[in-house]
Structure 1
């Protein structure tokens, strides 16, 4: 099976570099353009399933996909949500640093055990994401393609945990808004593959 991760398009809060988390801003104009471009980039694939975080920015990013792949319904999945930043949501990094420097440093140093105030640890986010991944993997046949529209944090988790094999590399790699990452599952492990290569295969694994 092939799993394609798509990061949602840009929002005004993203442009202002504010932590969104579980808050629910819509896409801005650039974000809507990114969603259309992503659907076009994936148009050569044979997609069987589409999942999206239930937050508005992901549901809006998934709309062009549903138009492109007629007959494939978008399935909302709350487990694909971004990390909850609690009381930090809506704030910039500089605002958080000025208001809560000790908690911020603790979170940056050990995010698996330290959460934003009223928010979620990385361990909590990773647990729900793994439950989602374990639930969808048996549902897809070897040649099937699924697209998951999610957020920066969940995609970092997938890359560090399942592609790099090192959760400690969580901060090392991310996707831009509207960015795409694809991976194949061979019943044992995940391997990254380029969308271009998938097209050459005819859109299947």
Structure 2
């Protein structure tokens, strides 16, 4: 059975919606990176989103591990015109849509962006493809807050609304066993 070690990229210090905007990660906490790399299985295969913050973090964690190509299917949610906007501004300019996006996640999508369901389906396609290519492997997937939550939702069989109560910190690991339907850890910071 494939085990997924979902790692959220290093901090970006953004105070706005940050989806497909390509911003770098702050990887100056070398102690945290060293502890995280040491916590992850040495024989795992590494894959990441193609956004700079994930690629940089994956590079820092890779070591001697095998690396798969960066995958755009692991990008953060596409926030469309909300990307780069402060949350309060979005709530003021799109009050009903903003409220629906967070309170009843599913098919609500920001203007020019994608819904929770669309993002979850995009990530699920990558997960299936990697599992078919690398069966019974440990996979370190360096990705984003929303991406990781879609997988917690899928593995635990909970609603999108309920999974939003989980915290996923930068440089944390969430270890999931999809076949068993279990999470060994969520938001663990070694």
The interval holding the TM-score normalised by the smaller chain is 0.7 to 0.9
Larger C-alpha radius of gyration, 1 or 2?
1
CA distance in 1 between counterparts of 2:110 and 2:173 reads: 28
- Report which stretch shifted further, 150-159 or 170-179: 170-179
CA RMSD of aligned residues (A): 2.2
CA distance in 2 between counterparts of 1:29 and 1:117 reads: 32
1:20 is displaced (CA, Å) by 0.5
TM-score normalised by structure 1 residue count: 0.80
- Aligned pair count? 185
Q: 1:49 aligns with which of 33, 45, 48?
A: 45
TM-score normalised by structure 2 residue count: 0.86
Distance 1:33 1:121, change over 3 A: farther
Distance 1:127 1:71, change over 3 A: closer
Task: Decide whether the 8 Å contact of 2:44 with 2:139 is kept in 1.
Answer: yes
Distance 1:139 1:83, change over 3 A: same
* Structure 2: stretches of 5+ with no match in the other structure: none
CA distance in 2 between counterparts of 1:194 and 1:101 reads: 35
Tell whether 2:181 aligns with 1:180: no
Tell whether 2:5 aligns with 1:9: no
Task: Decide whether the 8 Å contact of 2:105 with 2:161 is kept in 1.
Answer: no
Distance 1:79 1:147, change over 3 A: same
Q: Deviations over 1:106-160 (max 9, x none)?
A: 3223331111111110111011111111111123343x21100010001111112
Distance 1:37 1:25, change over 3 A: farther
* Structure 1: stretches of 5+ with no match in the other structure: 196-205
Where is the helix percentage greater, Structure 1 or Structure 2? 1
Distance 1:19 1:34, change over 3 A: farther
CA distance in 1 between counterparts of 2:183 and 2:91 reads: 35
Q: Which residue of 2 aligns with 1:201?
A: none
